[in-house]
Amino acid sequence: MTAVDLMNTYNPLPLSFVRGEGASLWDADGKHYLDALGGVAVTSVGHCHPSVVEAIRDQAGKLLHTSNHFAIEWQHRLAAKLTTLSGLDAVFFNNSGAEANETALKLARLTAWYRGIERPRIVVMEGAFHGRTLATLAASDGPGMRLGFSAYDEDFIRVPFGDLGALQAVAKRHGADVVAVLLEPVQGEGGVRPAPAGYLRAVRALCDRQGWLMMLDEVQTGLGRTGHWFAFAEEGAVPDVLTLAKGLGNGIPIGACLARGRTARLLTPGSHGSTFGGNPLACRVACAVLEVIETQQLLANAQRQGAWMLTTLQARLAGYSGVREVRGKGLMIGIELTRAAGNLTRAAAERGLLLNVTRGTVIRLLPALTLSDAQAARIVEHLLEILQSLHA
């Protein structure tokens, strides 16, 4: 492989893996790694789960793709499951979280069009990340990723995450032009920052009073990551629009945008589409993933393992001069350092632990929901050793 065969969009470690099982990966030399990143919250039921492997194998031998010009039975099965779990009414399937969020933004725009709002605005959060298309990037926050891509900024009003007063001020000043609020229940790329207790419920109430759509980006938090099927369930703040991806396909690309009520009926033939979205393979695999989460009681495991890891790390790192805060929900944990993490990911990989750093100073842990007691303990011990070594 030469330096010019790939565009320079990533800065990968000099590691390549040839095999995976559960929360484990192996390189070509046979070295074992404990995966605490999970493909960035993707391999939620672990690498090569037998049920997922069998679904891929069987479906690949039957039918991969027909296009959405024909009915796809596995789409209907998956949509029925997702709407039952979420309480929303209808689903549009695509290939990624960014595409799911694009669908959400189009639903907001259509809502504004039907209401006769000439210059619709969508309220988004400081520290947010919704994708890397032009529109989802404009809805996101972060000078590095947005450098050179400023289109559509005028469509959005940005407020501090978790600040209900700021939202109320927007309602007073721009209420007639606002059509929706878009936010993540836990900001992942933004540094694993959970919304304050009661915030989602308060946003839901404000949206109801103002006639705004409440749109939740659960691309990273959905499908068990926080110990619930959806992070909004903890407060019962059911959104009007919900986006999913990442863990839905366990590595097979699939995204979903769900909506309820009139919003679920806005899209009509020709108003939106996807060539590959919702193909038989992706939808069958997603059905297998949901079944694994359910039958193996992985929501409870994510709550239990996440709570143990969070409290243990908080206790062991209390008063540690290099750590500002340890926070998280379920198996979504962030450790904010007091200075840039530097080569921490490389140092961790050398010790056989895979993780990443977001926003420059926040160690992010997103292991498989199948994590065992022993694996959780090893992640914590390895991480403590790495932090102590770097501090020294």
Q: How confident is the model at residue 141 (pLDDT cuts 50, 70, 90)?
A: confident
Please list the residue range(s) of the chain that carry CATH number 3.90.1150.10. 17-49+297-391
Whether pLDDT at 392 is above 70: no
- Mean pLDDT over the full length of the chain: 95
Cα–Cα distance, 38 to 276 (Å, whole number)? 24
Task: Provide mean pLDDT across the span 65-79.
Answer: 97
How many whole angstroms separate alpha carbon 230 and alpha carbon 222? 5
- C-alpha to C-alpha distance for 289 and 341, rounded to whole angstroms: 34
In eight-state DSSP terms, residue 61 is T
> What residues does CATH 3.40.640.10 cover in the chain?
52-295
pLDDT tens-digit profile of 230-280?
999 999 999 999 999 999 999 999 999 999 999 999 999 999 999 999 999
Taking a C-beta distance cutoff of 8 angstroms, is the pair 332, 40 a contact?
Answer: no
What is the distance between the alpha carbons of residues 258 and 240, in angstroms, rounded to a whole number? 8
Mean pLDDT, rounded, for 4-32: 94
3-state SS assignment for residue 280: helix
Query: For position 390, what pLDDT does the model report?
Result: 76
What CATH number is given for 52-295 in this structure? 3.40.640.10
Return the structure tokens found at 389. Answer: 């070594």
pLDDT of residue 1: 47
pLDDT at 4 over 80: no
Both tokens assigned to 238: 């059911």
306-334: pLDDT as tens digits = 999 999 999 999 989 899 999 999 999 99
Q: How confident is the model over 147-187, as pLDDT tens digits?
A: 676 666 779 999 999 999 999 999 999 989 999 999 999 99
Rounded Cα distance, 387 and 322, in Å: 8
pLDDT, tens digit (0-9, with 9 covering 90-100), for 336-391: 999 998 889 999 999 999 999 999 999 999 999 999 999 999 999 999 999 988 77
Ranges 70-79, 117-126, 143-152, 174-183: which has the least confidence: 143-152
With CA atoms as reference, report the closest residue to 282 among 47, 44, 18, 72: 72
Region for residue 67 given its phi and psi (left: phi exceeds 0; alpha: psi -120 to 50; beta: otherwise) = left
Return the CATH fold of 17-49+297-391: Aspartate Aminotransferase, domain 1 (3.90.1150)
Q: How far is it, in rounded angstroms, from Cα 260 to Cα 161?
A: 25
Residues involved in catalysis? 129, 217, 246
Instruction: Report the candidate in 319, 316, 337, 318 with the shortest Cα–Cα distance to residue 380.
Output: 316
Residue type, 234: E
3-state secondary structure of 17: strand
Given a cut of 80, whether residue 143 has pLDDT beyond it is no
Which residue reads 């549009």 in tokens?
92
Q: Which helix (H) or strand (E) holds 124?
A: strand 121-125
